[in-house]
Amino acid sequence: MADPIFALGQRFEAALAAALGAEHAKTDPALRRSVHADYQANVAMALGKRLGRPPREVAQAIVDRLDVADLCTRVELAGPGFINLHLRDETLARELTDLAQDARLGVPSPTPETVVIDYSSPNVAKEMHVGHLRSTVIGDALARTLEALGHRLIRQNHLGDWGTPFGMLIEHLLDRSAESGAGEAGSDAAAAIADLDGFYREARAKFDADPAFAERSRRRVVLLQGGDEATLGLWRRLVATSTRYFSVIYRSLGITLTEQDHAGESRYNPELRGVIEELSGKGLVTESEGALCVFPPGFTGKEGQPLPLIVRKQDGGYGYATTDLAAVRYRLRDLGATRLLYVVGAPQSQHFAMVFEAARQAGWLAPPARAEHVAFGSVLGPDKKMFKTRSGETVKLAALIDEAAERATKVVTEKNPDLDPETTAAVGRAIGIGAVKYADLSSDRIKDYIFDWGRMLAFEGNTAPYLMYAHARIRSIFRKAEGEGESVGAIVVKERPERALALELLRFGTVVSEVGDTLEPHRLCGYLFDLAGAFTSFYEQCPVLKAPEAATRGSRLALCNLTARVLARGLSVLGIEAPERM
Ligand code: ARG
């Protein structure tokens, strides 16, 4: 393990046991980076309080038994009981040498588990909009992160591809083909719903205005649910047209979802009855006003009344909750997952909390298995209201991607007019898409974030262009070095900026592991930003190719190389490209 925090942690474990008794061995030493030393341990503050002893005395007892002479030059007590640790240059050099030889760049391999991650999950016959962007981008970054940690990931795109709206959508599709005189009914589905939102809106308007159409639509739902072949054929066309469109978006955003990951609501159709039977058999289903409900404990409405999950509606139909209960059971029982993740907006928090509780009651969700709603806030416009186009419509994802590429290409053209047009276009696209993704990932996911072209495309600050540029700049140093016959050599760490960079590089694996636990990609973004900052200071203060001694040039080139690798790997874990030149 490259991060010295691990090695120091083990020594603290031994010291804590020796100083205070075995029961204290596992106390977190609370090791942090510090301006006063390489690391500071704050463990004595909390422990002192707990034991009713002066923290400084506790700290002294720990320090007396702390055996770190091989790792540190100095260990000092400071203030009311802080322990300051100064690493040896050789320790840093040795750990960095290990890091450079590690293909995983220090990313640990915890015991692998099967993780199901439900993300993106747009609705068929509707346009994907910026709301789906967050689920798609965050979900993909988390899937990549957990894969990097060695877990087995099963992606599930829980498409909204079933339910009552399909009655009106199918009838509208039939009307449209009759109008256009197309041969086979619905054969021109692709053309009819090219404008997905328009198609949905028209169907909805007719449904509201025309009672005969509404009646036809309702009958069509019954046919669909009854498995009528002709109806299913029309439904499949609608689904296929939408999913083809979703795939185009995924590909242009560099999202790892494929058609193999589609597991829409319709997939659970054959299982719904069995789910209700099983829940009934366990005494969890109550009839209420003609509907079948599960009342998971702990959920009450405004007047204190228990809240239901409706598993079968009055009309005998099944809804969103039933499908999600079937999905939980399938993911745990059939897919064998021990961790279920749902990357869905915060407004659905209560729904998931209730579904998880019901799954616990049913005995499907039991330790070590766990389920987590990975909630996120809304995308806001610069006016801090819901992000809309100037004419007030919801922003479509496809248009957004094109605009990002266009804006970034313009920036690249200005910054680097010597680049050939093909590279400019490719790099512009990578920066534009990287900027959109990074803006989303770098903000605390539970908070709303403001969609701001100017900020996300800036080459300064915690942005994708800044990090991508830092990477490309290092790659250009290497092109120059090769031209001069220079190459990486043994790592030696001496100067302050070298030490600071070294300590950042060694943190990478710890941060990736933290993102896997907390499911907060912004921690990795913050880390990469710190790393790029440490590199900039290093590069300003420590000449690389101009260093007088060959050994120093070799060592500094090795530090440059490691930085570029960590930046590229970090960005790739987030789903962002790192071009060789910009
Ligand atoms: N289709 C839903 C929506 O757009 C999201 C589905 C999320 N996943 C789930 N298992 N319910 O709001």
Tell me how far apart the alpha carbons of residues 578 and 582 are, in angstroms, rounded to a whole number: 9
Q: Which residues lie closer than 8 Å to 383 by C-beta, 6 or more apart?
A: none
Enumerate residues 6+ apart whose C-beta is below 8 A from 283.
none
CA of 348 to the centre of ligand 1 (A): 9
Question: Which ligand 1 atom is the nearest neighbour of the CA of 324?
Answer: 10
Question: What confidence score (pLDDT) does residue 191 get?
Answer: 65
* Cβ atoms 328, 249 nearer than 8 A: no
| Cis peptide bond upstream of 368, omega within 30 | yes
* CA distance to 117, 295, 319, 329, per residue, from 268 (Å): 17, 22, 11, 10
Fold (topology level) of 397-574 = Isoleucyl-tRNA Synthetase; Domain 1 (1.10.730)
- What is the C-alpha to C-alpha distance for residues 90 and 96, in angstroms, rounded to an integer? 10
277-280 contacts, C-beta under 8 A, 24 or more apart = 278/329, 278/362, 279/311, 279/325, 279/358, 279/362
- The token duo for 305 is 């009344």
* Position in ligand 1 atom list of the atom nearest CA 352: 11
Per the CB < 8 A criterion, the answer to whether 305 and 341 are in contact is no
Q: Are strands 291-294 and 285-288 parallel, antiparallel or unpaired?
A: antiparallel
Q: Does residue 320 contact residue 352 with C-beta atoms inside 8 Å?
A: no
Question: Which residue's CA lies nearest to atom 5 of ligand 1?
Answer: 121
User: What is residue 369's predicted lDDT score, i.e. its pLDDT?
Assistant: 98
Q: What is the pLDDT of residues 532-562, one digit of tens each?
A: 999 999 999 999 999 999 999 999 999 999 9
Distance 295 CA to ligand 1 centre (A): 21
What is the DSSP code (8-state) at residue 444?
A: -
Spell 249-285 as b/e; 16+ CB within 10 A means b: bbeebbbebeeebbbbbbbbbebbeebbebbeeeebb
**Which residue's CA lies nearest to atom 4 of ligand 1?**
122
Question: How many C-beta neighbours within 10 Å does residue 214 have?
Answer: 16
φ/ψ (deg, to 5) at 31: -85, 125
**Phi, psi at residue 417, to the nearest 5°?**
-65, -15
Token digits of residue 267: 């997939």
154 Cα to the center of ligand 1, angstroms:
17
Q: What pLDDT does 504 receive?
A: 96
CA of 269 to the centre of ligand 1 (A): 16
Nearest CA to ligand 1 atom 3: 122
Residues with CB under 6 A from ligand 1: 118, 121-123, 158, 160, 324, 327, 342, 344
The CA 265 to ligand 1 mean position distance, Å, reads: 9
Ligand 1: nearest atom to the Cα of 344: 7
Q: Residues of CATH 1.10.730.10 domain(s) within the chain?
A: 397-574
**Alpha-carbon span 553 to 565, nearest angstrom:** 18
User: How high is the pLDDT of residue 556?
Assistant: 97
Query: Which atom belonging to ligand 1 lies closest to the Cα atom of 351?
Result: 11
d(CA 273, CA 326): 9
Distance from C-alpha of 26 to C-alpha of 12, rounded to nearest angstrom: 9
Distance between CA 245 and CA 128 in Å, rounded? 9
* Top mutation candidate among 325, 329, 344, 351 for ligand 1, by most atoms within 8 Å of CB: 344
Contact between 81 and 55 under an 8 Å Cβ cutoff? The reply is: yes
Residue showing tokens 């900020």: 455
* C-alpha 369 – ligand 1 centre gap (Å): 21
The CA 324 to ligand 1 mean position distance, Å, reads: 9
Contact present, 135 and 343 (Cβ < 8 Å): yes
Residue 132 Cα to ligand 1 midpoint, Å, equals 10
In the chain, CATH 3.30.1360.70 sits at 4-87
For residues 432 and 408, the answer to whether their CB atoms sit within 8 Å is: yes
414/411 Cα distance (integer angstroms): 5
Residue 36: its pLDDT value, please?
Answer: 87
DSSP assignment letter at 415: H
The residue nearest atom 12 of ligand 1, judged by CA position, is 122
The 31-33 sheet, strands edge to edge: 31-33, 39-41, 82-87, 72-78
Residue whose Cα lies nearest atom 9 of ligand 1: it is 158
Nearest-CA residue for atom 11 of ligand 1: 324
Alpha carbon of 158 to ligand 1 centroid (Å): 6
> 199: exposed, middle or buried (C-beta count within 10 Å: 0-12, 13-18, 19+)?
buried
Class of domain 4-87: alpha beta
The sign of the CA dihedral 350, 120, 462, 532 is positive
Question: Across all residues in the chain, what is the average pLDDT?
Answer: 93
b/e per residue 79-96 (b: at least 16 CB within 10 A): eebbbbbbbbeebbbbbb
How far lies 106's CA from each of 528, 566, 569, in Å?
Answer: 15, 10, 11
Ligand 1 atom, smallest distance to 345 CA: 12
Which residue out of 158, 266, 343 has the highest number of ligand 1 atoms within 8 Å of its CB and is therefore the one to mutate?
A: 158
Q: Which of 337, 319, 228 is nearest to 276 (CA)?
A: 319
CA of 184 to the centre of ligand 1 (A): 33
Report CA(168)–ligand 1 centroid distance (Å).
Answer: 21
Residue/partner pairs of 68-73 with CB below 8 Å, 24 or more apart: 68/8, 68/11, 71/4, 71/7, 71/8, 71/11
Helix (H) or strand (E) holding 240: helix 229-253
Q: Which residues of the chain have pLDDT under 70?
A: 1, 181-194
Q: Of how many residues is the chain composed?
A: 582
- Residue 131 alpha carbon, nearest atom of ligand 1: 4
Residue owning the nearest CA to atom 8 of ligand 1? 158
Distance 121 CA to ligand 1 centre (A): 5
CB atoms within 10 A of CB 17: 16
Q: Residue 287: in which H helix or E strand, if any? A: strand 285-288
